[in-house]
Amino acid sequence: MIVSKVTNNEKQAVLEFCKNTFSWGDYISDVWDSWIEEGNFLVIHDEDIPVAICHAAIYKGKQVWIEGIRVNENFRRKGYASKLVTESEKIGKQNECTISYMLIESTNKKSLDLAQKLNYKNFETWNFYCLEPKKIDSVSKIKFASYEKKVPSIIFSPNFCYVNSWRWVPLDDKTRLSLINEKRIIFFETNDSTDSVAIFSDSKHFDKTLLVTVISEKINSLNDIFSYIQNFAYTKNYKRVQILTKLKSLTDFIGLQYRLQFHLIKKKI
């Protein structure tokens, strides 16, 4: 069983078995060019026909993010998915990565069983919401993280990650400084205590899509956070806002729609 790199010549053949992965279709066609450019876009062939793929995103010296595992339904139960995962882990080790991550929808029992078989552990559970961009006249209580004034202490935690193009990645010093300077870290506080934090990032794969990581201890404080996000997305001409949070239930905020729940799983490699 040989794992190789996907080529553009195989695009149509691969997309043929990546059409109906989810109820709404699939996203492989949207990320194809980016994954080719990033490298480590892996494929397994059966008699010269591509039948299984995945992508390994490398954060050198830190983690490998395994995503987009797909197997042609006519070629399942042959160990292709397991082989792709182990090959991705191998690539991660070659790049001094110490942890491998995957994100799996909570109802995808087959993928969760496979991950458990490969010694992955459920690390965190996250929820996905959509928010409609909308003009809001005034949001007065939101503050921007600033080294001159205040930066919420939680984002300095060594285990803190934020969502960047649907990958949970560590917030390093360089990225933190860039996000602060661009006013993409906002927070809400009462009595000098931070209640909620939101971090914005642009999707690299989906046009005019704003990804927002939300961390909150007090749900009531989120109304101001969401109002600011709506207005920010509206004024910057984003088509959609995707919110990722560990909160199980959110306030009944107008325009906020629950989508899916995911398990963030990891393994030391």
pLDDT by residue for the chain (269 residues), tens only, comes to 899 999 999 999 999 999 887 777 789 999 999 999 999 999 999 999 999 999 999 998 889 999 999 999 999 889 999 999 999 999 999 999 999 999 999 999 999 999 999 999 999 999 999 999 999 886 667 888 888 777 888 888 877 889 999 999 888 888 899 999 999 998 887 776 677 889 999 998 888 999 999 988 667 678 888 889 999 999 999 999 999 999 877 767 778 899 999 999 999 99
258 and 139 inside one domain: yes
Do the beta carbons of residue 35 and residue 68 sit within 8 Å? yes
45 and 138 inside one domain: no
In a domain, 202, yes or no: yes
- Give the number of other Cβ atoms within 10 Å of residue 253's Cβ: 16
Task: Return the closest-CA partner of residue 80 out of 52, 105, 104.
Answer: 52
Q: Residue 88 is part of a domain; what is its CATH number?
A: 3.40.630.30
Q: Count structural domains, the chain.
A: 2
Give the list of residues 6+ apart from residue 119 with CB closer than 8 angstroms, or none: 267
Q: Residue 241 is part of a domain; what is its CATH number?
A: 3.40.630
In a domain, 114, yes or no: no
pLDDT at position 139, please?
A: 63
Reading the block at residue 269, the tokens are 């490699």
Do the beta carbons of residue 59 and residue 29 sit within 8 Å? no
238 and 164 inside one domain: yes
In a domain, 118, yes or no: no
Reading the block at residue 173, the tokens are 């010093």
Q: Please list the residues that pair with 185 across neighbouring strands.
A: 199
Position of tokens 């390994």? Answer: 56
136 and 253 inside one domain: yes
81 and 135 inside one domain: no
In a domain, 109, yes or no: no
Give the pTM: 0.88
Structural domain for 17, as ranges = 3-97
